[in-house]
Amino acid sequence: MTMDHAPAAASNGERRWNPVTSEVVRALHRAVGRERVLSTPEELLAYEYDATIERGTPQAVVFPESTEQVSAAVAVAHRFGVPVTPRGAGTGLSGGAIAAVGGVVIALTRMKRIIEVDRVNRIAVVEPGVVNLDLSRAVAPFGLYYAPDPSSQRACTIGGNVAENAGGPHCLAYGATTNHVLGLELVLADGEVVHVGGRTRDVPGYDLTGAFVGSEGTLAIATKVTVRLSRIPESTRTLLAVFDSVDDASNAVSAIIAAGILPAALEMMDRHIIAAVEPVINAGFPLDADAVLLIEVDGLEEATTEDAAMIRGICDAQRAREVRLAVESADRERLWAGRKTSISALGRLYPNYYVLDGVVPRPRLPEVLRDVYRIAETHGLAVANVFHAGDGNLHPNLLFDERVPGATDRVLAAGAEIMRRCVDAGGSITGEHGVGLEKRDFIGWIFDDIDLAVMGKLKAAFKADGRYNPCKAFPTTRGCGELTDRVVARHAPALGTDIYV
């Protein structure tokens, strides 16, 4: 054998990647077993998507069942210089699990054991493929739950949540994934296994756990996650406030926050979302309302009573047409089912949606929301809004049919404009979905070259080069040139490249 496995070095010294040859596949077979590798081209087509409109076909998918197998597969990829893309359930909304330039996908779906639950200390140790809701269900008998609750929680995995620092409606009060992860077992890009953080709250040294959460699978693969569990509150009240105008609803949001109430969740749904979801779920969202707010308070019975009364008063003052209170769990669950399936339900209206994830300072919500509708209209697009109003995290869904010539272009143009609007308002291009493949061309609006170089240093410290989940999160990975040719990238400079802070 004289074949040189060393990755070809680019002129500036940055490493490029090699393709997955039959030799690589054989090495993967030896590393993890033939039955844990998928490499038939037609089967790989089932791995070219996630929940976005991005596409990318891997050249092999590996299904490890243990840390050792993850390490072995990653080491093979390292030895041959082929790209690695970690993948959980593939429910992400930024293209993070897409094999952007081919290579090996490490699918962690078979690592789904809940290894340990310590009910007294409210800790669980889980494998990355454990489904978010399954964890909450497993610990429910102890009166506990896992607080971060992304809308895809019945399908998405903890590993994916960690990668994206996933949020959800209830992160308003309880924080996103980063606030609930204590420690990690990681497989670095060369296959080395390292433990960071721990079970106790304070572990001496740099907060590597905190730095890792939200790194979008570009630093390492988490093979065990130690999470904090939370106590199921004794009382939960959910209010549904119905408004005849989106403005009134967003003013109510600002008023609630300004009054010093921190609800567990504060969500807004507009009439287009209601039209998609209400016929399916029958949650009781009025079809003729312009917007509804779903507001939840939890804690002590006395506290939720007080808070619910105050919130009701504020909504009334902001011209709510009606405020309903759901206390029974069945009623609350129906409201939440409506909220959490609402984006997927848009498939009933249009074949495709493009969901944005911008964040704005909460007082700017009403004006930015008005602009969202205006921008969509300018581009001749339907837009449906359902979002985490309480933390200013917008999810405008641009609706289209990608088979119509030019439709995707218009959507991406409108999307870019909306993101730009969020940035101009002092916000961010993503609140919980991640930058991924989808928004990497816009990160320059937030961070300049120095900011990104500093992040690159962290990546280097983890020994992860551009081969590790390539073309994600950062705009300048070499070899992703063909991707930047996409329409989405052409819109970024058109809207300005200045930096807002």
Partner 1 sequence: MSSTTAPAAIDEFRAAVSLRAPGVVFQDRGERVAVDECLPDVTCAPSIESDVSAILSEASACGLSVVPYAAGAHMGGANVPREYDVAMLMTRLDRIVAHEPADMTVTLEAGVPITALNATLAAHNQFLPLDPPAADRATVGGVIAANAHGPLRHRYGTVRDWLLGVRVVHADGSISKAGGRVVKNVTGYEMTKLYCGSFGTLGVVTEATLKLAPAPPVRVTVAAQFDTASAAGLYAMAAHDAGLAIDAAELLSPPATYALFGEPRWCVLARAAGGPGAIERTLRELRAYAGAMRGALRECDEATWAAWARALEPGVLALRASVLPSRVAETVEVLDRRFAGAAALLSATVSAGLIRANLDPTRGIRGGTLYESARDVVARRGGTVAIDAAPASLKRQYDVFGAERADIAIMRRIKQEFDPRGTLSRGRFAGRI
Partner 2 sequence: MTSGTRDDAPLASAHGAAPHTHSMAEDIARCVHCGFCLQACPTYLQLGMETDSPRGRIALIDAVRTGRAEPTPALLGHLDACLQCRACETACPSGVAYGRIMETARADIVEHGSPPLSWVLRAIALREALPYPRRLAALFEAMRLYRRSPLRRVLARTGILRRVAPPLARAEASMPAPGRPFVPPPQRPGLARSVAMLTGCVMPHLYARTHEATVRVLNRLGYRVVFPEGETCCGALSAHAGDRAFARRLARRNTDAFLAAGVEAVIVNSAGCGAAMKEYGDLLAGDRVYASRARRLSAITRDVLEFVAGHDLGALGEVRAVVTYQDSCHLAHAQRIAEAPRRILRAIPGVELREMAAPDRCCGSAGLYSIVQRDMSQRLLDDKMDDVTATGAGVVATANPGCMMQLEAGVAQRASDATVSHVIELLDAAMRAAPAAGLRAL
Torsion of CA 165, 151, 321, 285, to 10 degrees: 170
With binding defined as CB under 8 A, does residue 141 bind partner 2? Answer: no
70: partner contacted, choices partner 2, partner 1, none (Cβ within 5-8 A by kind) = none
Q: Counting contacts by CB under 8 A, is residue 280 touching partner 2?
A: yes
Q: Which does 49 bind (CB under 5 to 8 A by kind): partner 1, partner 2, none?
A: partner 2
The two beta strands, 382-387 and 291-299, are unpaired
Q: Which of 162, 257, 251 is nearest to 215 (CA)?
A: 162
Footprint (CB under 8 A) of partner 2, residues 144-163:
152, 154-156
Residue (172 or 355) nearer to partner 2, CB: 355
Q: Which amino acid is at 357?
A: D
Of 42 and 302, the one with the shorter C-beta distance to partner 1 is: 302
The two structure tokens encoding residue 266: 């504060």
Which one of residues 313, 347, 361, 496 is an interface residue with partner 2 (CB under 8 A)? 347
The one of partner 2, partner 1, none whose footprint includes residue 440, by CB under 5 to 8 A per kind, is none
Distance CA 443, CA 8 (A): 28
Restricting to residues 409-428, name those near partner 2 by CB under 8 A: none
Given partner 1, partner 2, none, residue 54, with its beta carbon under 5 to 8 Å by kind, binds none
179 binds, among partner 2, partner 1, none (CB under 5 to 8 A by kind): partner 1
Longest CA–CA span in the chain (Å) reads: 78
- Least CB distance from residue 33 to partner 1, whole Å? 28
Q: How far is the CB of 146 from partner 1 (least distance, A)?
A: 16
Based on the shown chain and the rule CB under 8 A, indicate whether residue 354 belongs to the binding site for partner 2.
no
Binding of partner 2 by 230 (CB under 8 A)? no
Q: Is 277 in the site for partner 2 (CB under 8 A)?
A: yes
Shortest Cβ 474–partner 1 spacing (Å):
9
Beta strands (DSSP E) in 389-488 are 396-400
Taking the complex as a whole, how short is the minimal distance between the CB of residue 95 and partner 1, in angstroms? 14
Contact residue for partner 2 among 59, 67, 71, 109 (CB under 8 A)? 109
Instruction: Please check whether residue 433 is in contact with residue 156, taking contact to mean a CB–CB distance below 8 angstroms.
Output: no
Contact partner, 40, from partner 2, partner 1, none, Cβ < 5-8 Å per class:
partner 2
Other C-beta atoms closer than 10 Å to the C-beta of 350 total 18
Asked if 89 interacts with partner 2 (CB under 8 A), we say yes
Cβ proximity to partner 2, 109 vs 250, nearer residue? 109
Q: How far is it, in rounded angstroms, from Cα 351 to Cα 19? A: 33
**Spatial distance between the Cα atoms of 47 and 121, rounded to a whole number of angstroms:** 39
Torsion sign, CA atoms 475, 481, 482, 486: positive
Identify the helix (H) or strand (E) that includes residue 413. Answer: helix 407-424
Among the candidate windows 17-25, 119-127, 204-212, 340-348, which touches partner 2 by CB under 8 A?
340-348
3-class DSSP state of 127: coil
Q: Please name which of 364, 367, 362 lies closest in space to residue 390, comparing C-alpha atoms.
A: 362
Asked if residue 22 binds partner 2 (CB under 8 A), the reply is no
The pair of structure tokens assigned to 81 is: 């210089």
Closest distance to partner 2 from the beta carbon of 91 (Å): 4
By C-beta, is 65 or 306 nearer to partner 1?
306
Structure tokens at 303: 């506290």
Residue recorded with tokens 């009382």: 235
* Residue 135: strand, helix, or coil: helix
Q: List the structure tokens of 123.
A: 């800790």
The residues binding partner 2 (CB under 8 A) are: 38, 40-43, 45-51, 63, 89-91, 107, 109-110, 112, 129, 131, 133-134, 152, 154-156, 277, 280, 341-348, 351-353, 401, 403
